[in-house]
Structure 1
Amino acid sequence: MSGSTGFLEPILGGVLPWLYVESAFWTGIGLIGNGLFGSRFFIQWLHSERSKQLVVPPLFWHLSFWGSILQLLYGLHIDKLPIILGYVFLPIIYARNLHFLRHSKAKAANVGAGA
């Protein structure tokens, strides 16, 4: 990155120099992450409208997870603490929700197979 050095670049720059190279690639990562993360609300709204009740589809959690991963990577690239702190714990939470989702589907399949 040109100009000022962030707080992580002195620590990680030697190990991950590619993380701090300014390029269109990083702009793309930021845009894709923002698009995925933002689209989850639109998807949730469409599913709820279709069902005429509040619905949180599995796709919501997948978009949340992958969008937060890409946003965290972009935050690390721009090396700004507020962005990093805003996204650092989200992938863990969304991964846990995906874990619960996977296990609830497996449990439902086992119950259905035994009936």
Structure 2
Amino acid sequence: MAEAFSNWLHTVFIEQFDAWILLGFFAQGCFTMRFVVQWLASEKAKKSVMPVAFWFFSLFGGALLFVYAIVRKDPVFIAGQGFGLFVYIRNLWLIANEKRALTQDV
């Protein structure tokens, strides 16, 4: 049992390691940073906040993960990340419109 698990770990993390896996890990790191940014901003404000950086990390990490999913031909991952990209872009668009409206009012 332990040997089978050891072989599985070696296959998954060592044998198939390539530039795409490296991109996948980098993308996942970017995607995870959005939670770190949101958490730190909320701690600083002492309330739940959603900083703009959250949406940029979401977009950048999500786009890289989308590319990774396409290369890996994973339909579940492709659909999930693909839909998320629309949400991230829409939120950034709304934020930009709000800032534009505020500067026009001044």
TM-score (structure 1 length as normaliser) = 0.73
CA drift of 1:25 comes to 2.6
Alpha-carbon offset, residue 80 of structure 1: 1.4
Q: CA deviation at 1:84?
A: 1.2
Matched with 1:27 is 21
Within 5 Å, give how 1:53-68 maps onto structure 2: 53-68=47-62
> What is the aligned partner in structure 2 of residue 84 from structure 1?
78
SS in 1 for 2:49: coil
1:108 offset after TM fit, Å? 1.2
How far does residue 83 in structure 1 lie from its aligned partner after superposition? 1.3
Tell me how far 1:41 sits from its aligned partner: 0.7
Task: Name the amino acid aligned to 2:30.
Answer: L
> Unaligned regions of 5+ residues in structure 1, if any?
1-21
Partner of 2:30: 36
TM-superposition CA deviations, 1:1-26 (whole Å, max 9, x none): xxxxxxxxxxxxxxxxxxxxx87331
AA in 1 matched with 2:28: N
Residue in 2 aligned with 1:100?
A: 94
Bigger helix fraction: 2
User: What is the CA RMSD across the aligned residues, in angstroms?
Assistant: 1.5
Distance 1:98 1:25 in 2: 30
Which deviates more, 53-62 or 30-39? 30-39
Q: How many residues align?
A: 91
